[in-house]
Amino acid sequence: MLGVLLLALPIFLLLNLFLTIKPDLLLTCAGLLGSFTFMAYLMELANILRRDQRLDDRGYQYRQGKGRNGKWESGILLKEILNYVFAEKGAGPGGAMGFLGAGAAMGVSLGVRLFAPVSDLWYYGGAIISFLGILLTNVAIIQKYNVLATRKLPQFDRKGGDSRG
């Protein structure tokens, strides 16, 4: 009898205290995941912008005579990120679509949560749409990372300096 009780107690605790995923919890998790992917996409764009404008290159900044003003840097960086994203021609999955995917995920999850329908189908549909938006944003993050990870090819045919040696 004691052995059965000792065996039944962990099984009861495992089954009773295990996280049960309900539709509203699933939709909330989708919204949170959408906000995290939105922040990751913004950070990726900020890194690309910093590399393209050589903001981390101290020698280049010194030679150009540009000092870094930390007071306005974050506001200007956000403005430049938005200009960079929306100025692309045919903004595909790497442009505004990255913002739209995560924004749709957050908007749909928040809208369904505020609307609070009775049927679970709305919650599951909202979660599916949210996860598709998150998938679109993740594809855009990977494409932007590929842009960030590549470097310019060396120019071996360049004539000038001591390279003619």
Is 159 part of any domain? no
Is 44 part of any domain? yes
Name the pTM for this structure. 0.64
- Distant-in-sequence, close-in-space partners of 102: CB < 8 Å, separation ≥ 6: 34, 35, 37, 38, 41, 133, 134, 137
Burial class (CB in 10 A: 0-12, 13-18, 19+), 24: middle
Is 145 part of any domain? yes
Are 86 and 95 in contact, with CB atoms under 8 Å apart? yes
Is 100 part of any domain? yes
The parent domain of residue 121 ranges over 22-150
Each residue of 28-67: pLDDT tens digit?
889 999 999 988 888 888 888 787 777 777 777 677 776 5
Residue 131, pLDDT score = 93
Could you give the count of Cα atoms lying within 13 Å of 8 in the half-sphere of its Cβ?
Answer: 5
The proportion of the chain whose per-residue pLDDT surpasses 90, expressed as a percent, equals: 17
Q: In the chain, how many domains are there? A: 1
Is 4 part of any domain? no
Q: Which two tokens stand for residue 59?
A: 């020698």
Is 99 part of any domain? yes
Is 8 part of any domain? no
134 falls in which pLDDT band (50, 70, 90)?
very high
The larger pLDDT score, comparing residue 158 to residue 50, is at 50
Each residue of 111-120: pLDDT tens digit?
999 988 888 8
